[in-house]
Amino acid sequence: MCGIVAYIGPRDAAPILLEGLQRLEYRGYDSAGIAVAPPAGAKGAKAAKGARGAHQDAPRELRVRKTKGRVADLAETVPARFKGGAGIGHTRWATHGEPSDANAHPHTDRAGRIAVVHNGILENADELRARLRDEGAEFLSETDTEVLAHLVSAQLAEADGDLEEAVRRSLQQVVGTYGVAVLDAEQPDRIVVARNGSPIVLGIGEKEMFAASDVAALVRYTRQVVHLDDGELAVVRADGFRTFTEDARATAKQPSTVDWEVGSFDTGEYEHFLAKEIHEQPAAVERTLSGRIDDRFATAHLGGLNLDPREARAFRRVKVLGCGSAYYAGELGAQLIEELSRVPAHAEPASEFRYRNPVIEADTLYIAVSQSGETYDTLAAVQEIKRKGGRVLGVVNTVGSAIARECDGGLYLHAGPEISVASTKAFTSTVVAFALIALHFGRVHDLSPADGRRICAGLKALPDQIRQILDHEKKTGQIAELAKRYADHPGMMFVGRVRGWPVAREGAQKLKEVSYVHAEAYPASELKHGPLALIGPELPTVAVVPDDELLEKNLTTLGEIRARRGRVLMVGHTAPDVKLAEDTVLVPRNEPELDPILLGIPLQLLAYHAAVALGRDVDKPRNLAKSVTVE
């Protein structure tokens, strides 16, 4: 889980690589490095500090800089004269070996001629390392990636010095997942990239080419991109590219246009991306809804599902798969689908799904949820379902991503790029997308036109209601003040019933992600079956209490907590008796089925302000990365 950037063209690569890595730092950020091939006239150039020691007879060596820490730390080590028009860069989130200078990418062979950056995990790295050691290779890191650098170097002789052939033969010996970029000091006119389970995107410029693991690194320079498929390689030169498979068959790729703006990758008026993205939610929800509400028939217009009404009615069950916040959004989505269409629906962590040898049913519709569209556990679940003949839809934010391409149909969120590791606008837009799906399925089944119109009106009201919540916080600072008080506690309990339960789970997830305050979510109805033993003055409870048919039962739970001297922060529609909740945050009412979307917004603000109060690295919380492309 990390970021890759590559450039080849007439400009110096180093500044472009560093700028691209800064845009990808949210994907991994414990170490960073770049390697640049010296210009063609620089024969015999010595490797820069940080590169592997080279044989004196090596005619050309790469210039390498890498360091533990952030991209800013790396930039301080790169000299002004770090020339070369071809280079690769990497920012890392550790999977093999602790963060250190030695374990940072790029990794090179012994001669300093070959450099590799790699996302993913090579499962047979130990076996390959032992074989290469027997052949004389010396290893300086704990990483699996270094194995690949030595392997490519060893294959060069057998491939008559042909870099793409050497990379192709090397990858045929590898077991595992990878997104890689390979640079050869002796062939500075090309970079070879490859993908298997970890994204690689090519960027097409004017007499220059780019490659990256995420389009975020490319949008400043080009909007024309090509997504590699699993098992595909590309040779990238300044004047173009060529793609082919691991068995050397040529492939044809058509560029697509990225519609993200460069400004989306700046914090603008906000201190953090997380704050910016929370406040972008009204516009993000508007984009998710745009063109998808059919007032005439009180339904949703979702041609991307690729399901006609007869096919939609044939499904007897819906299974939603996602990881982390996408899973919690899937829980809300399953609830919406079941409530509006009366088709049984259930959400499950995608990371566990394929390991229990699931039964794939012909009359079950599977929906995969991923903000990045590249989450490996979710992608693997999709592939398992497809392998067994199941029908899969995707709900993703990134156009052209692997999950989007694997699925039979689905919805793009159009939420815009999300840079902060903790998901907010993508989470909210995902739940809105599920509301559209639930409305569509409901009207295909037995949801009345009157109820359809009611849900359509509720969906249209969401953006302005989210603005109301955010504007109220800007004016009053209520949640920021509450966050300062509650952040001093060692932990917090989050509770909710039915519609409020997934909201509570996501609220607890956000708090622990960005503030490092321990948070546990529990169904409010289950407190008395064990967790009530934890309740006391030292453990505050955040209660999600919509004004629905379970209001009285939720208030009874608050009474149980207060009777044990527990402090309660209630998020709901109506302020209860002061004896039941010490603090209350109110949100506007929508339709009961859609209220959870609004109830989640204050919990995002609570987590953000708690993290700020505690001095946390809000956008890059420790140990986490945005796009989880390994198991």
- Whether residue 294 is predicted with pLDDT greater than 80 in this model: the reply is yes
| Residue 609, token pair as written in the block | 């302000």
Catalytic residue among 2, 323, 407, 456: 2
- Please indicate, yes or no, whether residues 415 and 518 belong to a single structural domain of this protein: no
**For 52, what's the count of Cα atoms within 13 Å in the CB-facing half-sphere?**
26
- 254 inside domain: no
- 135 inside domain: yes
| Residue 106, token pair as written in the block | 């790029």
Mean pLDDT, residues 430-438: 98
Q: Tell me which amino acid residue 493 is.
A: M
Nearest CA-CA partner of 406 in 250, 227, 255:
227
| Phi and psi, residue 411, nearest 5° | -125, 135
- Whether residue 262 is predicted with pLDDT greater than 90 in this model: the reply is no
d(CA 322, CA 393): 12
Q: In total, how many domains does the chain have?
A: 3
- Please indicate, yes or no, whether residues 464 and 519 belong to a single structural domain of this protein: no
Please answer whether residues 71 and 25 qualify as being in contact, where contact means their C-beta atoms are separated by less than 8 angstroms. yes
Average pLDDT, the chain: 90
- Please indicate, yes or no, whether residues 509 and 582 belong to a single structural domain of this protein: yes
- Cis ω before 602 (30° cut-off from 0): no
Residue at a domain's end among 474, 500, 519:
474
Residue at a domain's end among 197, 228, 251:
197
Mean pLDDT, residues 469-495: 95
Catalytic residue among 319, 510, 512, 626: 626
Confidence of residue 58 (pLDDT cuts 50, 70, 90): very low
- 550 inside domain: yes
- Please indicate, yes or no, whether residues 189 and 297 belong to a single structural domain of this protein: no
- 205 inside domain: no
- Please indicate, yes or no, whether residues 400 and 521 belong to a single structural domain of this protein: no
pLDDT, tens only, 119-158 = 988 989 999 999 999 998 999 898 899 999 999 999 998 8
pLDDT, tens only, 512-549 = 999 999 999 999 998 889 888 888 889 999 999 999 89
Q: What percent of the chain lies above the pLDDT cut of 70?
A: 93
456 is known as an active-site residue: no
- Please indicate, yes or no, whether residues 486 and 432 belong to a single structural domain of this protein: no
2 is known as an active-site residue: yes
- Please indicate, yes or no, whether residues 323 and 445 belong to a single structural domain of this protein: yes
Residue at a domain's end among 152, 169, 197:
197
d(CA 219, CA 621): 25
How much of the chain is in helix, strand and coil states, percent to nearest 5? 40, 20, 40
- Whether residue 46 is predicted with pLDDT greater than 70 in this model: the reply is no
In the DSSP assignment, the letter for residue 375 is -
Nearest CA-CA partner of 596 in 450, 522, 449, 497:
497
Mean pLDDT, residues 10-33: 86
- Please indicate, yes or no, whether residues 493 and 353 belong to a single structural domain of this protein: no
- Please indicate, yes or no, whether residues 309 and 425 belong to a single structural domain of this protein: yes
Please answer whether residues 329 and 430 qualify as being in contact, where contact means their C-beta atoms are separated by less than 8 angstroms. yes
d(CA 394, CA 409): 6
Q: What pLDDT does 49 receive?
A: 40
Q: Which residues contact 276 (CB under 8 A, 6 or more apart)?
A: 267, 268, 269, 270
Please answer whether residues 185 and 51 qualify as being in contact, where contact means their C-beta atoms are separated by less than 8 angstroms. no
Determine how β-strand 178-184 pairs with β-strand 114-119: antiparallel
Sign of the alpha-carbon dihedral angle for 535, 536, 541, 546: positive
Place of tokens 């999950």: 403
- 256-257 sheet: strands from edge to edge: 63-68, 31-37, 86-92, 3-8, 209-212, 201-204, 224-227, 256-257
- Please indicate, yes or no, whether residues 451 and 562 belong to a single structural domain of this protein: no
- Please indicate, yes or no, whether residues 491 and 458 belong to a single structural domain of this protein: no
- 261 inside domain: no
Compute the residue count for the chain. 631
Confidence of residue 471 (pLDDT cuts 50, 70, 90): very high
Least confident among 44-53, 97-106, 181-190, 410-419: 44-53
Nearest CA-CA partner of 394 in 345, 354, 347, 434:
434
d(CA 501, CA 524): 8
Q: What is the CATH number of the domain that holds 514?
A: 3.40.50.10490
- 524 inside domain: yes
Confidence of residue 259 (pLDDT cuts 50, 70, 90): confident
> Which range marks the domain in which residue 104 is found?
10-197
- Whether residue 15 is predicted with pLDDT greater than 80 in this model: the reply is yes
Q: What pLDDT does 400 receive?
A: 80
Q: What is the pTM of this model?
A: 0.83
- Please indicate, yes or no, whether residues 22 and 71 belong to a single structural domain of this protein: yes
pLDDT, tens only, 577-599 = 767 898 999 999 999 999 999 99
Q: What pLDDT does 600 receive?
A: 97
